[in-house]
Structure 1
């Protein structure tokens, strides 16, 4: 997608209160694929003893990234909402590292988009979490 489309997507993300509060940034958006980043922030620590970011913040990032992938799909014609999202947490993110999420629409029906996602810190070969979900879809054709 063009720089203008990414800029528009970023404005859309910032209009979602929790996404804006978590500092999410759109880094890539193309046909049915989205990548978002979330910086490390002390406000979102889930375990003060270790400095590990909360699972809720990671969940919000992955849900938002999946939704962005759905609305970027070329067959989409409108907004989306989460029907179901399953997140499997693999490990704690390294304290201080940003979290990067990538989501991809792998199947689209007339009314439902199916999405897979992963998130990682600065070690892209070692996921923090994976997700699969179903989202509402209003196709253009």
Structure 2
């Protein structure tokens, strides 16, 4: 991956996709087949007010975005990647703090890629909050 490609993906993740920009996603690390994204805590993301825990939909979105870019990072910037299937296991509540997703490429074919994503607390990286698997359709540039 060239510096120019890395900059393209960073801009796309952080600014180019309006929903990601709304969430405030930040790229911590991006190499081919390996991606780490930060989701800053915002009270608007809370789904369980009694515990202050993030809504599961916010966590699954983070997993999906991280998995998709993990797969895409092994391709070309002109390729297109879309989610086929996403599975999420919520292991612990994500309360009062930023969370990080770490995606790793598991399988890459010509038309399909598979990524494994772990979500953990930024302050407590040993605390696994959720994990997910994403299967992504790849439409290669012509």
Same-fold call, TM cutoff 0.5: yes
Which structure 1 segments of 5+ residues have no match?
Answer: none
- In the aligned structure 2, how far is the partner of 1:85 from the partner of 1:48? 26
RMSD between aligned alpha carbons? 1.9
Q: How many residues align?
A: 139
| TM-fit CA distance, 1:2 | 5.8
Residue 109 of structure 1 is matched in structure 2 by: 109
| Structure 1 residue 135 corresponds to structure 2 residue 141 | no
Q: TM-score, normalised by structure 1?
A: 0.89
Deviation digits for residues 55-75 of structure 1 (CA, Å, limit 9, x no counterpart): 111111110001111111157
Residue 73 of structure 1 is matched in structure 2 by: 74
Q: TM-score, normalised by structure 2?
A: 0.88
Which structure 2 segments of 5+ residues have no match?
Answer: none
Please identify which structure carries the higher strand content: 2
- In the aligned structure 2, how far is the partner of 1:3 from the partner of 1:43? 34
Residue 83 of structure 2 is matched in structure 1 by: 82
